[in-house]
Amino acid sequence: MSSESDLRAAGERIEMLLDASSAHGTVVRERSEELVRLVADLYGAGLGRVLDIVYDCGRLDDEVLDALAADDLVAGLLLVHGLHPYDVTTRIERALAEVRPYLGSHGGDVELLGVTEAGVARLRLLGSCDGCGSSSVTLTRAVEEAVEAAAPEITGIEVDSRGDHGADATVIPLSALRVRLDELAEGAP
């Protein structure tokens, strides 16, 4: 079982079997869920030991960590078991770096503003998009999909699309202009 479709099919089959177990009552469903949970815990502990052994052998360096984190299946397993080598912010930044060329081809960019304590990723779309009005929606969706894939544990995504033209991007505060206008008015003959 190595292809992406085989893995997806296995996940769907597990879910179907759990659903089917509920047809035999609550006790059967609970035991089925416990069985899955225990097997997942066992595999998680084994995966953690593998990482410890590789580290103890001096072979768990940045290159190996990057390779593990780049593999979708392995990264997912590491996330499920709290073993992923990169925190949520780093994973989101890496995902944004991968989508930036696409955004740049439309005259845009994206900035991670942060991740809230509640797990909401706050992003700002920058620049403008060339082409039709729907391209902004397409770009936003591309960013959201990249972030969701890199950090499935986030609870939501807030996108500020004001970009370079938003109120936060003012170069000269309005109050500073008023002070200068007042000074000019007082000094005028």
pLDDT tens readout for residues 65-76: 999 998 888 998
Distance of CA 42 to the CA centre of its chain: 27
Helix (H) or strand (E) holding 109: strand 108-115
pTM above 0.85, yes or no: no
pLDDT tens readout for residues 81-95: 999 999 999 999 999
pLDDT tens readout for residues 24-49: 899 999 999 999 999 999 999 999 99
Domain 88-169 falls in which CATH fold?
GMP Synthetase; Chain A, domain 3 (3.30.300)
Alpha helices in the chain (DSSP H): 4-21, 26-56, 62-70, 72-80, 88-104, 134-150, 174-187
Domain boundaries, the chain: 4-80, 88-169
